[in-house]
Amino acid sequence: MSNTSYRYSFENKLAPHNKAILQACRTGDLARLIQLFQDHNTRPEPRASWREDPNGPPNTRILLDQAVVYQHAHIVRYLLSISPFEKKLATKSTVRALVETQNLEIAEVLRTRAPEIVNMELGHFDTFLSAACRGGDGCNHDNLPGDDSLPLIHYLLDNGADPSEGSWGGCGSIPAAIDFARPLEVIEKMIEKGGVVNLLAFSSAVRNRRIDALQLFFDKAPFSVSVDDMLKRAAESEDKEIMDIVERGSVKVGKRRYRRKSVWRRGLDAILPVK
């Protein structure tokens, strides 16, 4: 995603000093930014709207997003030091920008202030972790992400990202890691951090012929998919090696079957009286 895609439709209507404030965040000119705030007796506010009032104070998250997109950690730190935040610190665009830039310094600055950012949902089928597994906007199944995008995945897992939450129907990030050819060490780490092999994760491994992942699943992972479903997916592949692995492995999983409760279910359990 290019920086030019972060231009706002209302920019041309902004007062000159507000245009200068936005530009200072993009160029990383902290001295200029501080001077503009002082000269115009303004500061970022979480509920401000330049769209409604081009002459009004800047919106905190807009400035923060621009500092993240243009990778100015010192601007991010400064904005956090002077700005109160209500509810969520970062927006979806902030997190998507981190996936694009892979800037771990800024990720750590934001996580230190708001640890929950590592589990931020970007949509019904997407989380910070699953998006990191897929790589940036230029990545797809024909143009897979490179190893230079692995540090962000490890950073998220090391700092509390839950590999079994969000993504496709609550199926977590293991399917994304498999579909985008992430190395086995990433998948193994997801399992170590609480990842559960559901039907989508298992089917992804079969479809992509990830023999290494299938063997890992049967050696170490908890399952929330039935043996019958696994055998069915293996048979549908018509791949003898996969069918043999699944037939042998399915014998092991009886003691490790585990149906993880969703965040919604766990939250409901927390408020319901114990019977």
**Predicted TM-score of the model (pTM):** 0.88
For the segment 148-182, what is each residue's pLDDT rounded down to a tens digit? 999 999 999 999 999 988 755 567 899 999 999 99
- Mean pLDDT, range 99-111, rounded to an integer: 97
Predicted local confidence at residue 67, as pLDDT: 96
161 against 255, higher pLDDT = 161
Residue type, 102: Q
Burial class (CB in 10 A: 0-12, 13-18, 19+), 70: middle
**pLDDT class for 264, splitting at 50, 70, 90?**
very low
69, 28 Cβ separation under 8 angstroms: no
CATH 1.25.40 residue window(s) in the chain: 95-195
Which parts of 16-142 fold into alpha helices (H)? 16-27, 30-39, 60-69, 73-82, 92-101, 104-113, 128-134
154, 189 Cβ separation under 8 angstroms: yes
Predicted local confidence at residue 98, as pLDDT: 96
225, 260 Cβ separation under 8 angstroms: no
Please state which of the four CATH numbers 1.25.40, 1.10.10, 1.10.1060, 3.40.50 is assigned to the domain occupying 95-195: 1.25.40
Residues 6+ apart with CB under 8 A from 109: 73, 76, 77, 80
For the segment 10-41, what is each residue's pLDDT rounded down to a tens digit? 899 999 999 999 999 999 999 999 999 999 99
Predicted local confidence at residue 260, as pLDDT: 55
Task: Say yes or no to pLDDT of 2 above 70.
Answer: no
Task: Say yes or no to pLDDT of 143 above 80.
Answer: yes
For the segment 69-90, what is each residue's pLDDT rounded down to a tens digit? 999 999 999 999 998 765 567 7
Predicted local confidence at residue 168, as pLDDT: 56
For the segment 183-238, what is each residue's pLDDT rounded down to a tens digit? 999 999 999 999 999 999 999 999 999 999 999 999 999 999 999 999 999 999 99
Cα gap 75→3, rounded to integer Å? 16
For the segment 144-156, what is each residue's pLDDT rounded down to a tens digit? 999 999 999 999 9
**pLDDT class for 1, splitting at 50, 70, 90?**
very low
